[in-house]
Amino acid sequence: MNWTHALADGAVNAVVPSVITADCGLGDDSARIVTVVPDPASPYHRARAGEVGLREGLAIAEAVTEVVAADGRSRKGQAGDGPPGDGQSRDGRRPIVAVVDLPSQAYGRVEELLGIHHALAAAVDAYATARTAGHPVITLIVGNALSGGLLAHGLQANQILALDDPGVVIHAMHKEAAAKVTLRTVAELDELAARFPPLSYDVGDWAKLGLCDELLRVENAGQPTDEDVTKVRNALAAAVVRARKGPRDLSNRLNSPGALQTRAASRRIHEELARQWG
């Protein structure tokens, strides 16, 4: 929440109490920020600490779809009224920035019964639709980015940026849960992580997998300084430029320099599947 308020140019609005939006100037663009935040009063008690649950998934989808629909109407209304877009703000497709600090998706019987998979799929679909329509989708990870929370809010981005800070954790599950599932101790997991980057909870190791487009060192990740905000704004603006020049699919994840070194098996499987289904 602190980063959203620090980056916002004006008011921060709530789609629901746990999903907030704001506008942020990035160069010639005005980007729409979407953030999931804690809601201690949520009627869904499994989604009170910032998890992505039923309301959050649908609210993310609403916020992102609103941008796509509004910009589509604007472009249609302005057709033929001026020079063609230059790939920046004049193309009428605003960047969307997902600010991420998520403990996970919401785990609970109520969530499963009411269809959390549909709610989170709606969020994923909204981000993918925006990206393939030409909206630069940028993720900024400022804290935890775990499990289905990141899958629903952040992983569909053209570009993923993360703060290079010990408080930033990106993984499929919490370390204690991973130890229980694999029948190992946390210490044993840490020992394995030193040799196998996919098992590591260190953001620097995660970046080696080709999923991170830039690690950002800041002075204070929890309470950003003016210098931190300026640095992150500049990095987001540069990510928007890269997104507009790059593919609208996620092929860059397997073709990045990091992926070429650390995801050889994933690349071979992808190539074989493409060969068989092509």
Asked if residue 277 and residue 173 are part of one domain, the reply reads: no
- Give the CA-trace dihedral at 137, 230, 16, 42, to 10 degrees: 110
Asked if residue 162 and residue 141 are part of one domain, the reply reads: yes
Give the per-residue pLDDT at 89.
54
154 neighbors 139 (Cβ within 8 angstroms):
yes
Asked if residue 118 and residue 255 are part of one domain, the reply reads: no
126 neighbors 61 (Cβ within 8 angstroms):
yes
Q: Tell me how far apart the alpha carbons of residues 33 and 226 are, in angstroms, rounded to a whole number.
A: 18
Q: Tell me how far apart the alpha carbons of residues 121 and 65 are, in angstroms, rounded to a whole number.
A: 13
Q: Which residues pair with 30 in a beta bridge?
A: 25
Asked if residue 223 and residue 272 are part of one domain, the reply reads: no
Asked if residue 257 and residue 213 are part of one domain, the reply reads: no
Give the per-residue pLDDT at 121.
98
Q: Tell me how far apart the alpha carbons of residues 147 and 77 are, in angstroms, rounded to a whole number.
A: 41
Reduced to 3 states, what is the DSSP secondary structure of residue 60?
Answer: helix
Asked if residue 136 and residue 241 are part of one domain, the reply reads: yes
Asked if residue 154 and residue 263 are part of one domain, the reply reads: no
Phi-psi region of 140 (alpha: psi -120 to 50; beta: other; left: phi over 0): beta
Asked if residue 275 and residue 175 are part of one domain, the reply reads: no
Domain count, the chain: 2
Q: Tell me how far apart the alpha carbons of residues 236 and 27 are, in angstroms, rounded to a whole number.
A: 9
- Neighbouring residues of 146: CB distance < 8 A, sequence distance ≥ 6: 102, 103, 104, 169, 170, 171, 172, 173, 174
Give the Å distances, CA to CA, from 173 to 39, 104, 148, 227, 255.
22, 8, 9, 32, 25
Q: What is the value of pTM for the model shown?
A: 0.92
Asked if residue 183 and residue 271 are part of one domain, the reply reads: no
Q: Tell me how far apart the alpha carbons of residues 56 and 268 are, in angstroms, rounded to a whole number.
A: 36
Q: Tell me how far apart the alpha carbons of residues 1 and 49 are, in angstroms, rounded to a whole number.
A: 12
141 neighbors 117 (Cβ within 8 angstroms):
no
Give the per-residue pLDDT at 90.
54
Q: Which two tokens stand for residue 134?
A: 């030409």
pLDDT tens string for the chain (278 positions)? Answer: 899 999 999 999 999 999 999 999 999 999 999 999 999 999 999 999 999 999 999 999 999 999 999 999 988 877 654 443 433 355 789 999 999 999 999 999 999 999 999 999 999 999 999 999 999 999 999 999 999 999 999 999 999 999 999 999 998 888 888 888 889 999 988 898 888 888 888 898 888 888 899 999 999 999 999 999 999 999 999 999 999 999 999 988 888 887 888 888 888 898 899 899 97
Domain boundaries, position 278: 250-278
Asked if residue 260 and residue 223 are part of one domain, the reply reads: no
Give the per-residue pLDDT at 259.
81
Q: Which two tokens stand for residue 12?
A: 């921060």
Give the per-residue pLDDT at 245.
95
